[in-house]
Structure 1
Amino acid sequence: MKLLKGYTKEEKSWMMYDWANSAHSVIVVTILPIFYNTVVGYMADSASGMSTWGYATSAAMAIVALLAPVLGVFGDFKGMRKKLFVGFMLVGVVSCALMAITPMMDFMEPGMAEKVGMAVLALYILSTIGFAGANLYYDSFLNDVTTEDRMDKVSTMGYGMGYIGGSTIPLLAFLILNLVLGSDKMLFCLSFAFGLTAVWWLVFSIPLLKNVEQKSYNEKTRGAVGHALRGLGNTVKEIFHHKAMFVYLIAYFFYIDGVNTIIHMSTSYGDTLGLDSTSMLLALLLVQVLGLPFCLLYIKASEKFGARTMVGVGICIYVGVTIFGFFLREVWQFWVMAIMVATSQGGIQALSRSMFGKMIPDKKRSGEFFGFYDIFGKFSAIMGPALVGWSSAIASGVALNKMGLTRATASAEVLAQVDTAAAPWGILSLLLIFFVGGGLYFFVLPRYLNEKK
């Protein structure tokens, strides 16, 4: 592939994992919420699907965030990084394979919707844990496959590979199958998409498994595990004393929260507003198609202006996305928002990862440091969806209270109208965390970076 000319075999194999796991990012994260909202509609006593999905996402991220530092420590021992990577990757793959069964279950029968809904949420949480856990070790392999001066380029191209492969091809296959078979076969198409995600994820992980080895590691001697676990407190102190790293992680905690929340909640939000599912999925396909050229643009721009400047550009664009999302009511507006997201989604995540990778003082402890990086990334992903769910639920409650109703006494039609009207307030709440993260990134971080120089 001409696009990958100049990259080493290890770098290309590492980047192929983005091609592999991006199928989960687009199929499970964006299509599954639409299916779940459909199932919720058949429940006898249903809460807002958007709120419940936000809480489930937060629960999954909380589990990974709490485990991340310990997982990072174990991944730093010789030979362990790949074994742990495989374990979490298989948890995700198996969860997606089991997910393929749920659309074929008769959730329209009385009492079945609740069971299918619980199964969908449980498998979603498991697949997210597998995805996030494997990504912790995938990220820490970055220091094993490339040099610091090539890190921005390799990290960003990894996201670009994900866009042209895993994010695009499975979604396109789903849309074509749905078009050929017709809307009455939608449940079969969903089953196919979830099954394809599992197979895709597994097969395209093979290059990393074959060609990438752990080069930075600590020897596993007697008592080394206990010593490393006890040393987590010292790592916290080390991060705190490394002021630039500490401020960067706090800023990252907030701004990446908004990014992840928009990724996880976009289709649930659009579905709550009553937008056409097929049109939304086509808009998301456009995001994936545009993802690669914008990642390449971010690579070029970061070479000229620096990674820090381009991450700042991404934060500003996402503030605009959030404001635009509040006023979103029509499908064409969803398309506009999708294009806005496409400009920076891959770039801001990739350059954030490489910025942190270059800050790590001891490359042998990459897993440990990326474990803390994951804490900040995943705990932020708890706050964002929960904030959206809480804000929309509060707005719904206020509207019902004005009518003298509760969720128990209101009709299904009234609840649908209230949830639709409340959803934009949930999205607007993300401005709070973008402003905090952006403020730290633009006004506090430069002071400590300059001191370091």
Structure 2
Amino acid sequence: MAIGKLTKQEKSWIMYDVGNSAFVLLSTALIPVYFSSIATGSVVVAWGYAETIASLVIALTMPVLGSLADLRHMKKKFLVGTVGTGALACCALGFATDALPFLLIYIVASIMLNSSMVFYDALLVDATTDERYDEVSSQGYAWGYIGSCIPFIACLAVVLGGGAIGIDIALGMKIAFFITAAWWVAFTIPVFKNVHQTHFKDRSAHVVRDAFSGLLGTVKRMWRTKSLRYFMLAYFFYIDGVHTIIKLSTSYGTDLGIDATQLVLALLVTQFVAFPSAIIYGRLGAKVGTKKMLLVGVFAYMCITLFGAFFLKSAVEFWILAVMVGLFQGGIQALSRSEFGKLVPKEHANEYFGFFDIFGKYAAVMGTFLVSVITQVTGQSNWGVFSLVVLFIVGFVLLRKVPDNA
């Protein structure tokens, strides 16, 4: 399906992936490099702990907030609130010149970004129909990858090339944070205007109390449903590893002594590779089965992790790794999101997607913590990366247990 055949609601929903991906790319490629210039000690350890704290906060709060967002007209209100706060925090990063304040502001920005994704993901059930989930979800990731490159290239221009016109690194980063925040907000407008919450639960007299009591019922229903139980457990492990690699790849390369410019340009290549790959991956899922394509992606990430741990020594290997990640990153994320959307009741989509995030999409607690601890104990960041193989092996085994007709 070409993007021209998408409905106005579907296109508007996809646009938010274009907007938030700008900050995702900046925080993956450029922010860790900038942080290394103002921090002391291992960048992998400090950045890993910061990501862990942000993920824990999201994991503890999103099921309750998601349950509240399932009420009539609430999804978009929560989306706008998290985007607005996150964009302000993004701008504030440019004024933090010491490591600790920078990390604290980044944690706030990361929490808001990832929280907004819960409400956005849940709007998928309002923006399209069941049979179009795989296509629309894949298009979202694909256009997010390619669209995020536009503001990112502008950021690179002012940060890396600003010296030619008298802009130092500090001022360049301030401008980059402002560009990213403005892009994020601008591409939130279409989904706010054109996607309407059609699935919701009725408001009761005891909203907060019912939100908490409803969570227990949701957990029980998820556990009793075999397809959801095994899918969520598998997802908890394999996507945790995927997002850990996304979050720590640049800081890992920095620890290995790879030139910052090479790191950033290689990760930019990942975005261009991921654009067609995500669309192709989604269509292969429709032809051969979502579960089969997810198993292929998890196995590929085992290989990627082993390559990164033991063969990544120079910029050339990092470029190879970037291409490998680009081939599978968008596909495994998109098909996981769409498959989950098919399995859950639509009127409780936010509540379920809150748990979806706890089980790994943005609650990458195990992975970042595991890499940080193993790196700190061994003094070798490659052994920290190698530890992620365990997550993919467990995820692969559990995913095989998901019924084929799920």
What is the CA-CA distance between 1:187 and the residue it aligns to?
2.8
Residue in structure 1 matching 2:135, options 137, 143, 153: 153
Q: Distance in 1 between matches of 2:369 and 2:211?
A: 33
- The equivalent residue for 2:170 is 187
- The equivalent residue for 1:259 is 242
Tell whether 2:329 aligns with 1:345.
yes
Q: Distance in 2 between matches of 1:261 and 1:353?
A: 18
Q: Partner of 1:213: helix, strand, or coil?
A: coil
Q: Partner of 1:5: helix, strand, or coil?
A: helix
What is the CA-CA distance between 1:14 and the residue it aligns to?
0.4
- Give the total of aligned pairs: 403
What is the CA-CA distance between 1:334 and the residue it aligns to?
0.2
Q: 1:224 to 1:176 in 2, by over 3 A?
A: closer
Residue in structure 2 matching 1:425, options 373, 383, 388: 383
Residue in structure 1 matching 2:316, options 332, 335, 338: 332
List runs of 5+ in structure 1 lacking aligned partners: 42-46, 106-115, 397-421
Amino acid at match of 1:206: I
8 Å CA contact retained: 2:291, 2:404: no
Amino acid at match of 1:216: H
Amino acid at match of 1:147: T
- The equivalent residue for 1:436 is 394
What is the CA-CA distance between 1:226 and the residue it aligns to?
2.2
* RMSD over aligned Cα atoms: 1.6
List runs of 5+ in structure 2 lacking aligned partners: none
Amino acid at match of 1:218: K
TM value normalised by structure 1: 0.86
- The equivalent residue for 1:394 is 377
Deviating more after overlay: 146-155 vs 227-236:
227-236
Deviating more after overlay: 300-309 vs 320-329:
300-309
What is the CA-CA distance between 1:66 and the residue it aligns to?
0.5
Residue in structure 2 matching 1:93, options 87, 94, 102: 87
8 Å CA contact retained: 1:258, 1:430: yes
- The equivalent residue for 1:414 is none
Tell whether 2:144 aligns with 1:162.
yes
- The equivalent residue for 1:84 is 78
Q: Distance in 1 between matches of 2:239 and 2:396?
A: 10
Q: Deviation string for 1:87-140 (max 9, x for gaps)?
A: 1111211110101223xx4xxxxxxxxxx1011101110011101111110010
Q: 1:3 to 1:449 in 2, by over 3 A?
A: closer
Q: Distance in 2 between matches of 1:169 and 1:101?
A: 24
8 Å CA contact retained: 1:16, 1:207: yes
What is the CA-CA distance between 1:26 and the residue it aligns to?
0.6
What is the CA-CA distance between 1:378 and the residue it aligns to?
5.1
TM value normalised by structure 2: 0.96
What is the CA-CA distance between 1:241 and the residue it aligns to?
0.3
What is the CA-CA distance between 1:300 and the residue it aligns to?
2.3
Amino acid at match of 2:47: W
Q: Distance in 1 between matches of 2:343 and 2:53?
A: 29
Q: Deviation string for 1:195-253 (max 9, x for gaps)?
A: 11111101111101111111100121323442232121111110000011011001000
Q: Deviation string for 1:361-412 (max 9, x for gaps)?
A: x21111111111111125750110110000000102xxxxxxxxxxxxxxxx
Q: 1:194-205 counterparts in 2 under 5 A?
A: 194-205=177-188
Q: Distance in 1 between matches of 2:159 and 2:199?
A: 46
8 Å CA contact retained: 1:62, 1:379: no
Q: 1:438 to 1:233 in 2, by over 3 A?
A: same
Instruction: Using the aligned pairs only, state the percent identity.
Output: 40
What is the CA-CA distance between 1:339 and the residue it aligns to?
0.2
Q: Partner of 2:257: helix, strand, or coil?
A: coil
Q: 1:233 to 1:210 in 2, by over 3 A?
A: same
- The equivalent residue for 2:299 is 316
